[in-house]
Amino acid sequence: MKKYILLPIIGLIASCCSTKNSQATASNSKKAKIESSCPEEGTCSFEILQNKSMNVKTDGIDKIYYELEENPDKVVFLYKYQKKIADKTLQDAGYSEEIVFEMNKDYTDFSFSDKRIQSTKMLFGVFCYCKGKAGNYRVTKGSLIKKGSDLQIDIPPIVDNQIITQIKISL
């Protein structure tokens, strides 16, 4: 009987391990590293999704969303910030932001600013229980620059109390 009680407790302890403050993964052989600081109250991650493209859509109430689709000629970049939740029993306590955009698979150095950013389908997303704020927004101001192995993203505040406005990543 003691063995049956001990197993769930060990499983619970193993699942409660803390995560790193920031991580970067890529679906190819290159390693990406987040150079900008992640706010202490959250975790940040960055992914390069090879052979994917963004299909940006609008739902029945004119809210923007996207779906990832297979596309051998494209690559999607996805940066996420997720606020740590102190009380995990609260279902609606989560808050996260993301910046997502796509490029041609054979991208090299590039520079986009203001309305030209939309050629990358860049979206800024807020996910929380916060009426009028949650959802995806088209990014039409700011800059997106890749020079050498450095990727720099700067966007102005799009929603109230926005946390992520500047990202630097080493590809």
> Residue 93's pLDDT is what?
82
Q: DSSP secondary structure string, 117-160?
A: GGGGT-EEEEEES-TTT-EEEE--SSEEEEETTEEEEE----ST
> Residue 87's pLDDT is what?
81
Q: Is the pLDDT of residue 1 over 90?
A: no
What strands lie across the sheet with 33-34, from one edge to the other? 33-34, 166-170, 150-154, 143-147, 110-113
> Residue 31's pLDDT is what?
77
Rounded alpha-carbon distances, angstroms, from residue 109 to 78, 150, 151: 18, 9, 9
Answering whether pTM is above 0.75, one says yes
Q: Is the pLDDT of residue 134 over 50?
A: yes
Q: Looking at per-residue confidence, does 29 or 118 come out higher?
A: 118
Domain residue extents for the chain: 19-170
Q: How far apart are the first and last CA of the chain?
A: 52
pLDDT tier at 147, thresholds 50, 70, 90: very high
The residue behind tokens 């959250």 is 42
Q: Is the pLDDT of residue 154 over 50?
A: yes
> Residue 30's pLDDT is what?
58
Q: Is the pLDDT of residue 16 over 50?
A: no
> Residue 3's pLDDT is what?
46
Strand, coil or helix: what is 63? coil
The CA distance from 8 to 77, in Å, is 38
